[in-house]
Amino acid sequence: MRVKGFLRVVMAVFWACFLFAGGAYSGENGECQCPAFSSFYCKSLHFTGKGMRYWYEAPDGFMKLTGIPYDKLSCNHCHATSCDKCHGVEKNGKMAFSIAKTKKTATCYACHLRGKVSAQFDEKAGFKDVHMAKGMTCTNCHHANDVHGNGTSYYSMRDKGAVEAKCTNCHKPGQNFNAKLRAHRVHRGKLGCEACHVKATMTCYNCHFIEGHKKTAFFPVKTWTMLVNYNNKVTVGGAMTLVWKGKKFIAYAPRFTHSIMAKGRDCADCHGNKAMQLIKSGKKVPVMDFKDGKVIPWKGVVPLAPQKIYFAFMEKDKNGKWYKLPDNTPIQVQFADYARPLTKKQLKRLMMPFGRRRQ
């Protein structure tokens, strides 16, 4: 009881100091600066927002087309530059500190809108993430260091050590994991768990960047997932396409969508599937197409092979109606969050129907 009382006092002092210090402020370069007190939280990605800034302002990032610095975008309003966003609650007209609020998925969804929309897609499809179905929330996997940081300043959540949550923290041999399963034996060390267990990737397609965060400025899609190389393993990923005054941009990245299936994919869902059959025949996979005023998304698994997959890009006319941009105009490509295309060897293996012996 004394320990709990002491912790309450410490948190109360922390809260008071933060509020009276005036919270965070922006420095000359637009980056968030720490308030008067010193805290390792000020180096966390939730505070700095470096994850989005780093890739947006990279030499091959989208800022190359827009010319707009990250600190001038509306995207950066989500970053938690005070404790209020996750801990602040109102009680009887006064603000109070709450730990219970942080354990609610809705608290995370306030900023992580992609996750919220993904869950809505799953609900409409009659599917529920296996962990959510058991009543788990974000903080069951993402503990304090994932949220508050660990005192190290990272440029991306994909930097080594930036995020500690991983499947094997809970799923260990003999503990919620069957290491003897053939799929686990064959893919061990080559694939991340999510490559087989994520149902589909949440994609914000064809962002009409000039409109900002309007619901009519992009197309939310969740019918396909992309296999990408990251950290020497194949994992799930996605693509984000953007348009700026007729200019086209696409970023490929590892993308962990919280739509986890208890049973992994069937072998044929990846090996020798329709996408791989098209590639083998010399054709491109129409991952996202646009015909007769409608978006036509691919369904199933596709490989990250930029020269073998196709994305349509759209612009809006003066009446706000979408039209397709010419396919022969250049596309600026970025491999964000350290994503890499599949190798020729990996593609060759995927082209072979499962069970066929290599000659």
CA distance 258 to 105: 12
In the listed set 131, 165, 199, which residue is the last one of a domain according to the structure? 165
Query: Has residue 341 been placed in a domain?
Result: yes
Q: What is the pTM of this model?
A: 0.86
Is the same domain home to 148 and 216? no
Express each pLDDT in 172-184 by its tens digit: 888 888 888 999 9
Cα(169)–Cα(72) distance, rounded to whole angstroms?
A: 39
* Average pLDDT, integer, range 77-98: 89
What percentage of residues in the chain have a pLDDT greater than 90? 73
Shared domain for 190 and 285, answered yes or no, is yes
Are 158 and 196 in the same domain? Answer: no
Tally of domains within the chain: 2
In a shared domain, residues 328 and 357: yes
Note whether 237 and 296 are same-domain residues: yes
Average pLDDT estimate for 202-214: 81
- Which of 165, 183, 207 is a domain's end point? 165
Q: Judge if 204 and 340 occupy the same domain.
A: yes
Which pLDDT value is given to residue 339? 97
Cα atoms in the 13 Å half-sphere on the side-chain side of 181:
13
Q: Are residues 190 and 316 in the same domain?
A: yes
* Residue pLDDT, tens place only, 5-23: 434 433 443 443 333 333 4
157 lies in the same domain as 235: no
- Give pLDDT, residue 193: 96
Q: State the Cα torsion 140-141-142-144 to the nearest 10°.
A: 60
Whether residues 188 and 152 fall in one domain: no
Contacts of residue 257, Cβ cutoff 8 Å, sequence gap at least 6: 118, 198, 199, 200, 201, 202, 222, 225, 236, 238
- Model pLDDT, residue 272: 96
d(CA 306, CA 346): 14
The answer to whether the CB of 289 falls within 8 A of the CB of 310 is yes
Task: Tell me what the pLDDT averaged over the chain comes to.
Answer: 88
Closest CA relative to residue 118, chosen from 239, 24, 12, 259: 259
CA 176 to chain centre: 25
Q: In degrees rounded to 5, what are phi and psi of residue 281?
A: -85, 0
Write out pLDDT tens, residues 280-311.
999 999 999 999 999 999 999 999 999 999 99
Q: Looking at the domain assignment, is residue 9 inside a domain?
A: no
On whether both 131 and 221 belong to a single domain, the answer is no
Q: Distance (Å, rounded) from C-alpha 310 to C-alpha 14?
A: 52
Domain that holds residue 324: 173-359
pLDDT of residue 5: 47
Question: Do the Cβ atoms of 331 and 249 come closer than 8 Å?
Answer: yes
Domain end (from 115, 148, 165): 165
Query: Based on the domain organization, do 313 and 279 belong to the same domain?
Result: yes
pLDDT value for 80: 84
Give me the pLDDT at residue 34, please: 59
In a domain, 276, yes or no: yes
User: Do residues 188 and 335 both lie within one domain?
Assistant: yes
Say if residues 331 and 240 touch (Cβ distance below 8 Å): no
**If we measure between CA atoms, which residue out of 94, 75, 118 comes closest to residue 15?**
94
Mean pLDDT on 49-71: 93
Instruction: Return all residues near 358 (Cβ < 8 A) that are at least 6 apart.
Output: 352
Rg value, the chain, Cα: 22
Tokens of 250: 């696409």
* Cβ contacts of 211 within 8 Å, gap of 6 or more: 217
